[in-house]
Amino acid sequence: MSWSKLKQQLESFLCPALHGTVEYRATGYRYLPDKSGICYITVDKKNLLQINDPSLSIRWYQTEQDIKNDPAIQIPVGEEEIEAIRKEMKGNVPEDRLEVIARSRKSSLLAKELMLAQSVLSKSNFVVVANKFLSASIEESLESKDILLNIFALVDRRVGKKRLLNMAEQMKAKHPAVQYFYELRRSM
């Protein structure tokens, strides 16, 4: 599918409030056939998915420790997770430490997932992910671990305000780029 057709289809799914604010763009290299173009998403004419751009307001993580130490990522721990730690430790750990251990383990898993999603995004082909979004259900795109699929779904007109409000807890564990588009959509 040509870029212009793909762009037209993606923009047809944009929430009406975001038309003109969120744009899909691509660069091409006409005289360098061996060099592929770059596709990206802009908000108010500013490229938001360029990983190495220091002027961005979105944080791109370099290590697992960056994710664990980021105060913006809140990790809720349920009673069943604390109980699993209690059983595993056979009662040899003080009660106040059980929650700390559970949160630490959960943050390690989350950090690994975020780093994986971020590395996939940096290597991924925008066009392939966009085609996957166009052929998949909106629920599948929202629940995916792929950052780009999450972003496409969040700016989609098929996701209503009520659904967005119900996703607040789920968004706390997502990558900052996904959180940015979530907040952008909620504010519109």
- Give the whole-angstrom CA distance, residue 65 versus residue 111: 8
The confidence band for 31, taking pLDDT boundaries of 50, 70 and 90, is low
Summarised one tens digit per residue, pLDDT across range 135-180 is 999 999 999 888 889 999 999 999 998 999 999 888 888 888 888 9
Residue 9 has pLDDT above 60, yes or no: yes
pLDDT tens digits along 52-73: 445 555 666 677 787 778 777 7
Break the chain down into helix, strand, coil percent, rounded to 5: 55, 10, 35
pTM of the predicted model as reported, rounded to 2 decimal places: 0.69
Taking residues 83-98, report their average pLDDT. Answer: 85
Please give the residue that has the higher pLDDT: either 63 or 20: 20
Q: What is the token pair recorded at 48?
A: 């938001």
Q: Name the band, by pLDDT with cuts 50, 70 and 90, for residue 50.
A: low
